[in-house]
Amino acid sequence: MKSLLKAVAGNGGASLANLAFGLVLLKVLSVEEYGVFAFYVVLQGLGFAISNAVFGSPLLKYSDFNDESLKVFCNVNLIYTLFFALLVFLTAYFMLDDLYSASVLALTCVFSLFRWFLRLYYANFERHEPVFYCDLIYFFMVMGFALLIFAVASDNFQFACLGLLLPVFFSMFSFDLRLLRHHFDFTNLKHFDLFKRGFKSQGKHSLQGVIATEVVSSGHSYALAVFFGPAAFAPIAFLQLFFRPVGVVLTAISQIKRPVVAKKMRDKESCCTELKQGFILSSAFFLVNFIFAAIVIFYFINAFENKFKLDSGVLIFSFLLIALSSTLKVFRNSSSILLQAADQFRYLARSTLLSAVLCISLVGLMIYLKEPYLTLIPIVLADFLLYLLMRNRAKKYVN
């Protein structure tokens, strides 16, 4: 329970710092620049989710932190990180036409994915102390940059990009950086079959599920950015930023509980207590997060109206839809942990694919109607379908 509380505190604190940073940027940046920042956050979330699938799921099969053959995961992570950073660079350069900012965002992506991989690696082997200190360093540095930008009222997007880069870089020093060196030791590739086996048995289906889940949770983000531009995407992205801490905490709880539940299931022990702990903590965090977000939204509603040139009714309606989607994620997280621990990645992939097809079809219809905020309705419907599918399947594995 202590490690779980630390994970929630660390991840929750880091994501709340990101929220504060986002609120400050909303004040100083133009709506278009804020839309680019928000789209980078969406892309970064996709990068983390793919990393969870490709590395986190296969690592569940192994229990020795010092197993040298596992260092092949570092080599694969390096290749994946460079490809994803190139995607971020091209996207940012296309939206900004600014080589410096695009380069800094790409470099931030590199360090972010390295940091995320190290967190996954340590959490899988239940070494939670360095993960907590990583989040603590990140929290203080992001808050420091937020205060600095707020104090000097800097509207320089390039400086804001540095505020994303430096906290990620320095927070990695809480880990044993020898794991970073292993990324560049390609003699580890002789163990590539070990990664391949893990990916085939768990990672492949998990990756399919991640891509489908991304369509459900962020498909509208990509559609809005492409069809309407970053300015139209900005208000929805801003409202979603309030609930990003909930998603981060749910991921942290999954990283902590998934290996524990998997071990208990292998030993034929009851895992109900572990799942209940995770649900209670995530529900409590969501409730606090929702109350805080509601107070900020309703208190500053006129300022947000003026910033985004949107009616307050549209903003409040969008906020409530995003809150409902986040609620459904909280309720299905325990089922997701249980099904992953039970090696039900194929079922999870099929379920998320079904909900993704529903979501993307309805998002297309909403875009045709030219009302960006209506794209949130398919997200809620797809989340509800996914909740029902996961809950019904998870009942078979509760003991």
Residue 300: what pLDDT?
84
Q: Where are the domains of the chain?
A: 2-397
Residue 377: what pLDDT?
86
Residues 6+ apart with CB under 8 A from 10: 131, 132, 134, 135, 136, 139, 252
Residue 323: what pLDDT?
94
In the chain the first and final C-alpha atoms are separated, in Å, by: 20
CA dihedral for 338, 342, 343, 348, sign (positive or negative): negative
312-333 pLDDT per residue, tens? 888 888 899 999 999 999 999 9
Tell me how many degrees the CA angle 225-227-228 measures, rounded to the nearest 5.
70
CA dihedral for 212, 213, 216, 221, sign (positive or negative): negative
Q: How far is CA 349 from CA 207, 209, 322, in A?
A: 8, 4, 23
Asked whether the beta carbons of 241 and 41 are under 8 A apart, the reply is yes
Residue 388: what pLDDT?
92
Residue 117: what pLDDT?
87
CA 351 distance to own-chain centroid: 20
Six-digit token string for 42: 């969406």
Those residues of the chain that have pLDDT short of 70 are 1-10, 57, 59-70, 126, 153-155, 188, 198, 201-205, 215-226, 230, 370, 399
Helix and strand element counts for the chain (H, E) = 17, 0
Residue 220: what pLDDT?
65
Task: Tokens 């702990």: give the residue.
Answer: 277
**Amino acid code (one letter) for 70:** L
How long is the chain?
399
Asked whether the beta carbons of 390 and 348 are under 8 A apart, the reply is yes
